[in-house]
Amino acid sequence: MEKLIITAAICGAEVTKEHNPNIPYTVREIGIEAEKAFLAGASIIHLHVREDDGTPTQDQKRFQACVDEIKGRCPDVIVQPSTGGAIGMSNEERLQPIFMNPHPEMATLDCGTMNFGGDEIFINTENTIINFAKEMNSRGIKPELECFDKGMIDMALRLNKKGYIKEPMHFNFVLGVIGGITATPRDLLYMVNSIPKSSTFTICAIGRHEFPMITMSIALGGHARVGFEDNIYLSKGVLAKSNSELVEKVVRISKELGRDIASPYEARKILTLG
């Protein structure tokens, strides 16, 4: 089976040091967490950034400072900025990281609007998705298609037919967000069976669902995303001290299942980057 690409979502936009004191906020903390995750086996860093006080931001300069810090520590790693940002941000705010110079190799492309718990709505209209895709295409940035529900896969496939999303497509199935599809084997299989054979996919799952769903993805030939953005616990009641502990756990599971871990170079080949 193809080697496993591990993405580390080291920070996210919603989780705070009150949840887990090891969530990175500063440029230096983000650099250290990215490096530790890379050394543990991650080939992709899915990146959100924060102000020093933890406020989520999509500010291009802040992203650039974090990417420079990460690349200074681990030049080979693939940095995948979020264009989802945080709930309530404008599209212009959210898109800023793709204007960095050099531009990132990948970025997320969220494929639909959804409830996001409580009163929150994560807004991604069809035209927003098209516009984000066009901006990424014109810079040669590969979108990771974030699908929180089956209808978002259908949206991506529709926009692929219309030429806005290019093949081979790479999906991330986000399971277990309140308002999205549940993190169950049935629903993961449903998602996996809904994409073209030429596509690649990774999965992430919220909280306690993270490792069971990742194990299933590894067995199915998919890839894996872990990190504080999705889950702050190493095991029940035990807060992870670093994203690297979460990555190490995936490495252990994957090796037990007979799947080796992809380097960034191998991940670029699998994802046809560049």
Residues of this chain that interact with Zn ion (CB under 5 A) are 82
Using the minimum distance from each CB to ligand KMH, give the nearer residue, 31 or 85.
85
Amino acid at 30: I
Using the minimum distance from each CB to ligand KMH, give the nearer residue, 155 or 251.
155
- Three-state SS at 84: coil
Q: Would you call 226 exposed, middle or buried from its count of C-beta atoms within 10 A (0-12, 13-18, 19+)? A: buried
Q: Interacting stretch for ligand KMH, rule CB under 6 A, among 61-69, 83-91, 132-140, 212-220? A: 83-91
Q: How many residues bind ligand KMH (CB under 6 A)?
A: 11
Provide CB contacts within 8 A for 169, sequence distance 6+. Answer: 145, 156, 160, 195, 196, 198, 199, 200
Query: Site for ligand KMH (CB under 6 A): which residue of 4, 5, 6, 13?
Result: 13
- Shortest gap between Cβ of 225 and Zn ion (angstroms)? 9
Q: Tell me, what DSSP letter sits at residue 99?
A: G
Q: Interacting stretch for ligand KMH, rule CB under 6 A, among 60-68, 77-85, 95-103, 215-223? A: 77-85
Q: Would you call 110 exposed, middle or buried from its count of C-beta atoms within 10 A (0-12, 13-18, 19+)? A: buried
Using the minimum distance from each CB to ligand KMH, give the nearer residue, 148 or 259.
148
Using the minimum distance from each CB to Zn ion, give the nearer residue, 10 or 259.
10
Q: Interacting stretch for ligand KMH, rule CB under 6 A, among 70-78, 84-92, 95-103, 212-220? A: 84-92
Query: Site for ligand KMH (CB under 6 A): which residue of 29, 146, 230, 245?
Result: 146
- Three-state SS at 115: strand
| 173 vs 249: CA distance, rounded Å | 20
Query: Site for ligand KMH (CB under 6 A): which residue of 7, 58, 82, 96?
Result: 82
Q: Which does 248 bind (CB under 5 to 8 A by kind): Zn ion, ligand KMH, none?
A: none
Cis (ω within 30 of 0) for the bond into 102?
Answer: yes
